[in-house]
Amino acid sequence: MNLLNILFEDEDYVVVDKPSGLLTMPGRGPAAREKNLLALLTQALKRPMFVVHRLDKDASGLILFAKTAQAHRYFSTLFETKGIKKKYLVAVEGQVAPRRGEIDKPIKPYGSGRMGVGFDGKDSLTCYEVLEEYDRATLLEVRLITGRRHQIRVHMYYIKHPVIGDRLYGDQARQAAYPRLMLHSYSLEFADPAGRKRTFKADPPKDFLNVLPFL
């Protein structure tokens, strides 16, 4: 499997399609020895790179890296001001109703790498729409308005529809039957540092599609 799939590159930034199972950046503890996308990209382009945002290790899809400190500041500000639109394909347990909705619940850390809904957390807003229903699951298009750690996974768990394959927030025994986390970042939209409107899309990989018939 090709771990480094660069979809676009210019003088300011790079857009990469990350596979499931690969860290975005170096981990801690035992994970410090694992391969990560930042190191692979730095080695391939032979220059320092800047992390703009992250994808969970077991998620896949589009991720943006800056090539300069100036571009990093620009994109970081864009994320803070909600100037980047991110859409995900997410398969969750059960039948989701209503077919379109918002989850507006603050999120905070709870230790041991877990996040959760808490009244004293940071404002977090997730929008979703049902794309397809299966026997035991639903495929959603999810749009993030804010970008908290594990936001989609926490919000879906909160409404009792955990993401398929999520062994951190879902039932571990049940989720262990699935080979991957069914969360894929498939669309990024933003205006680049030159003011040009950009839209990038990445179809879900085979390891995502192969799970759908079993839902």
Q: What is the DSSP string of 85-96?
A: EEEEEEEEES--
Q: Which neighbouring-strand residues pair with 107?
A: 117, 122
Distance CA 189, CA 15 (A): 11
Residue partners of 96: CB distance under 8 A and separation at least 6: 128, 130, 138, 140, 159, 161
Distance CA 36, CA 44 (A): 13
Residue partners of 200: CB distance under 8 A and separation at least 6: 7, 8, 15, 62, 187, 188, 189
- 207 counts as catalytic: no
Residue 196's CB is within 10 A of a number of other CB atoms, namely 9
Distance CA 207, CA 215 (A): 14
Residues 10, 12, 17, 56: which is the catalytic one? 56
- Residues carrying an active site annotation: 56
